[in-house]
Structure 1
Amino acid sequence: MATSAGVSEDLKRKPADDTRWELSHCQIRWSSEDHGPQVIEKPCNVRQEHADGGGFHLQGLGEGDLIKGLRRVTVTVLPSGFAEVRGLTKAGSNSPWGRAKARKGQTHCWDGDDFRLCWARNHLKPPRCGLVPLVSTQALLRKSPRSDLDAERLALRLSEGLVADDDAYERIRGDLAAIRSVAKGKTVAKRSWPHETTQGVTLKPKPEVLDALHAGTYRGLDCFNAWYGGRLLPTHPPIDFLFVQFDRWYFGEAIAQVYAQHPDIEWSGPGAFGGAGDDLRLCNENLGGTHRYLFSHGSGDCPSGCIDWVHRGYDVREDGRVTILQPVWKVRGRGLSKDRPSWIHDSCLRAP
């Protein structure tokens, strides 16, 4: 609506302080050509464009993304009542999402042709177990376990959440398939080692929990386990730890931190794996461009860590073309020799 001076009332509203970001909860749904319907529901920061309503910005917490690769989403309300929606990448590029319309009676929810976004301080609170908010969504958690275990484990090391991101998983799965189509020989690694990925957590409960635990009547973790797909393994005195096992693969430290928030738990750590053997590593610390992989084959007393190793390297471009790196690095005896090939960067051997 225009004023007598021909200026939109919307433009005359007093702008909110640019630094006034409020902690809220965001829900964004969109459709991807590659992955179909997608959804995120998570805490976020919101800044309204005007003190009494109108457009707004949604942004990830701290330095984190709102959506992977996307720092912020901006909704600019037009005089027509529709809104222009744009996304801002970490690199500073604006990507248009298209027009959206507010839902009837819900000025914080806007629907576009292939996306929906909402924010709220109250009605979009995440699900909880008691006072503890639950992390992620069932749609995301149920994607694990994936069909390619090696790709899932490697993707978890590059993902921000509890489970592997779709983009990381699909890229790495394609890379590994391309490598295996050209890699030959009995000393080519056949699988990855779990490293910081896990299917379990070890928990130290508070003393008052132990009696119920040993009596087999403890149910304090039922809500957590129902959400995260865990099951409590039986224990008997004098063991005073809890062991939760998952069919899914999680980033170990992340799922351990989740269970550490439970009021019955004093300490939580990811489940550990012993031994050694074949391993696959992605040398890159970020997704995209040419990926370098280290395939390591161990032999000789591997339950104690393996004595001899053969390391092979492969570069995979985004178009799937593979370059076999030379020379092959052979190490006899435990430890890493100093004469490693130049193609093996420190990042290939970083602590997992």
Structure 2
Amino acid sequence: MTASDYIKNQPHLQGRTLTPNPFSALAEYHSLSYSKEVAETSSKAKTQSSTATPNTTSNTKPVYYTKPQKQHLMTTLFTKPINLTQLKSFINRVFYEDSPWPTDNITKNQSFYEPWFYPSPNNKSFFNPGYHINGYTYTDYKNAFFRDFLLRPYDHSWFFSFDQNCTKTILGWFNEWWYWFGPLDSIYPEEVIKTSYPFYKKHVFDQPVGPLNKIWFHIDMGIPWICSWHFTLAISLQDMPYSLLREFRVKWLGKYNIDRCSLGNIQKYFQIVNKTKTAIQTISKSTHLLNPSQISQTNPNSQTHKTPTSSPTSSTTSSSSQKSSRKEKMKTFLAEMLAQFEAENSDIEESNQQVNDTQAEDPYGVPLGQDPFG
């Protein structure tokens, strides 16, 4: 059975416009029993986990690597393997048409998580007016990052890449997102995982636990990756029947210009960052920076400009005023730039201490419907 056959046999998917997949097609499903397919997949996974090495060269065609962690969805009544047709039938019975996940609220389905267009946790109403649900909670905001991509298993893959202006203040729940959707070390070319990334880690604040360093690496070097997922049935809980699981696969994007994260370019990147930071600090020490109240005073939108009286020195006064205005704007710009650098490169320990202080006052931080770290 092919991936196309899978769609044809799904009545709720027929008649929909399916987005073509621009990347390499996923492996076709053979006419084998599901137990044999699971055995083959497990065998391949074990081989990859025991012998998997990073791609030796950037010219090697990227291949998918199955992530060892599998997301448990539910325990079934199956006590022996089933075939793919039986698995599809079971999935159609236990999930709603537009909600391929366990839920007790059918109004918050796939469509609910799609109309946001980069939602903000601070906005409680949708950017899409006229939607039948008026707003959302912070929990909905987090769930959108997970559930929005749970679309079309077996025949679809996702292209992931961070925006170059993405903040480096990573929230705790995003670590879990990375755990499921993020790349494996196995997908990286050898020169990246053995040379470029170790050098990068030496020049940033090293966090020994968690994926923060790897996330920063992807942000700064603009490294994308490909991810896909599908349902599978396997023994997950000890002395229990088979569980329905979600399995993820990832691979390197072959079209990525690997020179961008070469050792030489990473060195240039940190040289530019250090020079820029040093220049801003030097100018800020020699120039009196404005505080917030002074910034608002120098903002032309926050004050009324009086028409200068006619006098012989009016042109001189106007020129002097323009120079002063430009100088004040430069001060404001430098203050903002310095604040941005300090915010992005602030010590992680200080952030952790603030979180600990908050938790000491209230074990739950703030109401659970809001961002506990915001």
Tell me which interval the TM-score lies in, with the shorter structure as reference length: under 0.3
TM-score by length of 1: 0.21
Higher strand share: 1
Higher helix share: 2
- Pair member with larger Rg: 2
TM-score by length of 2: 0.20
Q: Which protein has greater RCO, CA pairs closer than 8 Å, 6+ apart?
A: 2
